[in-house]
Amino acid sequence: MRKNIKRLIALALATTMALSLVGCGGGGETSTTTGGSESAEASTGEGGYKDTLIWAQGADVTSMDPHQGKETPAVEVTDQIFDTLTVVNPATNELEPQIAESWEQTDDLTYVFKIRQGIKFHDGSDLTAEDVKFSLDRAINSASVSYIVDFIDNVEVNDDYTVTVTTKFPYAPALRNLSVPFAAIVPKAIVEADEEGFKTNPVGCGPYKFVEWKQGDSVTLEAFDDYFGGKPATKNLIMKVIPEAAQRTIALETGEVDLAYTLASNDVDKIRENPDLQLFEGPSMACEYISMNMNKAPFDDVRVREAINLAIDRQLIVDTILNGAGTVADSIIAPDVFGYSSPGAYEYNPERAKELLAEAGYPDGFSTSLWTSDSQTRIEVCQAITAMLMEVGIECNVEVMEFGRFIEQTSNGDHDMAIFGWTTSSKDADYTFYSLEHSSQQGAPGNRTFINDPEVDALIEEARQTTDEQVRLDTYKELQVLLKEINNNAPIYYSDVVVGANAKVEGFVPDPIEYHKLDQVKVAN
Amino acid sequence: MYKYIIKRLLMMIPVLLGVTFIVFFILNMSPGDPAAMILGDRASAEALAMKREELGLNDPLLVRYFNYVVDMLHGDLGTSYKNSLSVWEQVTERFPNTAILALCGICVALIIGIPTGIISAKKQYSLMDNCTMVVALIGVSMPAFWLGLLLVIVFSLNLGWLPSQGMGDGGMELVKSLILPSITLGTMSAATITRMTRSSMLEVIRQDYISTARAKGVSEKTVTIKHMLRNALIPIVTAVGLQFGSLLGGAMLTETVFSWPGLGRLMVDSIKSKDIPLVLGSVVFMAVMFSVVNLIVDIVYAYIDPRIKSQYKKK
């Protein structure tokens, strides 16, 4: 009887498989390609390399318009299509020319850019100074990305290949801000002729041309042979949207994709141990930190804030929750950001924390809450911190909120403590310190500890207005020491950029902001 | 009959108004400013004001709802907050993907559900029946993401037969990419259909006309299919219709697990980013689809049961 049932079940399963094959068939043209793996079947390109590179990312492009889609999944694609005036080399972190061949700062407020001649947009038209002016003005007027270029007062076209950019005030990080992909240069004629069309059919001057966007599924790009930086290494790029992190790893293992971005931390070891795969790890420009609301008691007391900083065992969080894919933070900017200087590591000292709490008048601790948006890693980090705070007598409640509500309520200053992640996209300290620590930026613009300290403000302003790099570095050093004394934020860790790849992938350099450039990447057969 | 269909189609208008009203107000009154959501954690007051103006969020809620309904009646579902693309285009681009998956899913469900239901009913309380019911119970309770991942691990990772995710481009590739998601979707619906088939078969199995048919010497096959199944079909068709309707609305979990670019995932993504026009557009579309499927089910009743047909005629 048992045998019969087994047979029946086996038969049922086999029939289902067969029938679903038959039932779902029909329609559509027949294809000669077999197997599900496009990567495995991709036709060969030049010199023993595949002509198609497929990468998987967790979310679809929000907008193909670089002055609108500023989310990482959007930039990961648009960054292949568009270029900027300047660029920061991901390996050396040095500023390099891109569309601008050279520049000159004639006074504190004026930059004159010489535009490289012979750059072509994907439609064959020449890139001129008019396009640069049009693009920067367009970015300034876009609510989504204006913050990156709003230091610009005026853009003036001197001749076909020279542009003068005047800033509103002396602004040292100007050139690094212009390297952020949201300051992309777009073709004036095309955008003006059909702005709606441009959003679904983008035209840039980057290494890859746009071919197709199947929303929610994939984006196909093709190498732009006339790219001024040289012909890209791989002919075709395909971005696949795979929302589940576990599925991205599986797709990598089955060979369906060559690269997989943002992996789950528990998959990292699996990839590391697989001889057919390789793991690219690198430091990111992102810091996860807890903001303590200085407008609310007891966080208005520096001793309480210091006690919280002392009560957190950062190394334990990195080792367990992140599985080692991160580094303990000592400042809210990552070590690779221009202006970083370690103010000394945060000590883990629960005994001292208890003493400080007692001095502040809380010998038995107090009750508070820690807010987080609904990101799994952040929730786990918060739970760990809650347990750590409990050890020094602080009873802390984790409140998980949907992102919109989280942003709105923390902007209003309704929180006690909240966890945030911040990426220094311009790779310059000003980007972070001005937003998170300057008193003029309280609430929605970024300062959610509501710090209002004239000394901090003065240092931030001094560093952003001085062009002397050494003076800037010294000022930021002083600022970071001061902030560590104020303890308004508790930096927890710098996350690593982790990209899984097929072992045959060559030439990939992980970008610390995850805007990976793929024009030099190729996959061996 | 036609009168009835037209009446039913007209009845969709208040349904749609009700659906849009509820969804519009829930989304707009839930905390979280869409402008802040789009601009992220670095948004100056000017940028927020600029974005709100751009999205038309400064008008009173009722005015916005009124404008939305007027536009909707003109066939304009608005543009997405997130990428300023037409909602109608995005929804209709995704719908065929969902439809093909739903169709295959329901095929799998019918192929498994109806025969097993019939066998279970005819052999009530046998070992076979008990086993089937246990399997059906597991099927109903099994989360789609778990079953989906399990199938992927076995058939894609270990055996390498089928793609683990995505939607293939036409022909064999499409068929291959459909198998695992269809089985995942179908198994859950199959369990419901099996249970429904069994119980409605059991209701007719002991009716006098079945004994009469057998006494007349009608073959068991004819008795089962013509006399039992046909009379038991009404609740089954209802269940299948409901299942199909909800599958058409996008099987969010299955679509997410298999990276299937369907309507369900579009809706999840737009809810996450509080893209109100896109959520509303998807919901309106789903509501229409659901109503249409229900209408089709009602029409099918008439062909299954002549008594119902005569009632329609009276209407």
Q: Using CB atoms, pick whichever of B149, B163, B173 lies closest to residue A246.
A: B149
Model confidence at B2: pLDDT above 90: no
Which residue reads 């950001």 in tokens?
Answer: A337
pLDDT on residue A199: 87
* B-chain residue closest to A421, CA distance: B41
Question: In the A/B pair of chains, how many CB contacts fall below 8 A?
Answer: 212
pLDDT on residue B41: 65
| DSSP bridge pairs for A110 | A107, A166
Model confidence at A510: pLDDT above 60: yes
A21 with B30: Cβ contact below 8 A: no
A216 with B186: Cβ contact below 8 A: no
pLDDT single digits (tens) A126-170: 999 999 999 999 999 887 888 889 899 999 999 999 999 999 988
Residues of B within 8 A of A254 (CB-CB) are 156-157, 160, 163-164
A216 with B265: Cβ contact below 8 A: yes
Q: With a cut of 0.90, is the ipTM above it?
A: no
pLDDT on residue A46: 63
Residues of A within 8 A of B94 (CB-CB) are 215-216
What does DSSP assign to residue A123? T
A256 with B38: Cβ contact below 8 A: no
Q: Which of B121, B141, B252, B282 is nearest to B195 (CA)?
A: B121
Asked if B150 and A9 count as a contact pair (C-beta separation under 8 A), the reply is no
- Burial grade of A21 (CB within 10 A; 0-12, 13-18, 19 or more): middle
Cis-peptide, bond into residue A445, ω within 30° of zero? no
Residues of B within 8 A of A251 (CB-CB) are 164-165
pLDDT on residue A25: 35
pLDDT single digits (tens) B291-311: 888 888 888 888 887 777 777
Q: Using CB atoms, pick whichever of B32, B165, B266 lies closest to residue A402.
A: B32
pLDDT on residue A116: 93
CB atoms within 10 A of CB A346: 21
The stretch A18-41 carries a mean pLDDT of: 36
pLDDT on residue A385: 95
Whole-number Å distance between alpha carbons of A207 and A438: 38
Whether the CB of B10 is below 8 Å from some CB of chain A: the reply is: no
pLDDT single digits (tens) A99-134: 999 999 999 899 999 999 999 999 999 999 999 999
End-to-end CA distance of chain A: 52
Contacts of A389 (CB under 8 A, 6+ apart): A308, A311, A312, A395, A396
B167 with A244: Cβ contact below 8 A: no
Model confidence at B235, in pLDDT bands (50, 70, 90)? confident
Q: Which of A148, A139, A152, A150 is nearest to A177 (CA)?
A: A148
B42 with A244: Cβ contact below 8 A: no
Residues of A within 8 A of B189 (CB-CB) are none
| % pLDDT > 70, chain A | 91
pLDDT on residue B216: 87
Asked if A367 and A337 count as a contact pair (C-beta separation under 8 A), the reply is no
The stretch A84-112 carries a mean pLDDT of: 90
Whether the CB of B313 is below 8 Å from some CB of chain A: the reply is: no
Contacts of A332 (CB under 8 A, 6+ apart): A287, A289, A422, A432, A433, A436, A483, A489, A491
Model confidence at A314: pLDDT above 60: yes
Residues of A within 8 A of B41 (CB-CB) are 407, 420, 422, 446
- Shortest CA gap A144–chain B (Å): 6
Model confidence at A424: pLDDT above 60: yes
A5 with B127: Cβ contact below 8 A: yes
Q: How many CA atoms lie within 13 A of A134 on its CB side?
A: 13
Between B40 and A178, whose confidence is greater? A178
Asked if A87 and A96 count as a contact pair (C-beta separation under 8 A), the reply is yes
| % pLDDT > 70, chain B | 97
Cα dihedral: A151, A156, A158, A161 (round 10) = 70
Asked if A279 and A501 count as a contact pair (C-beta separation under 8 A), the reply is yes
Name the B residues in 241-280 with CB < 8 Å from any A CB. 256-259, 261-262, 265-266, 269, 272-274
Model confidence at A16: pLDDT above 70: no
B261 with A214: Cβ contact below 8 A: yes
Whether the CB of B50 is below 8 Å from some CB of chain A: the reply is: yes
A253 with B157: Cβ contact below 8 A: yes
Model confidence at B16: pLDDT above 50: yes
pLDDT on residue B26: 87
- Shortest CA gap A71–chain B (Å): 9
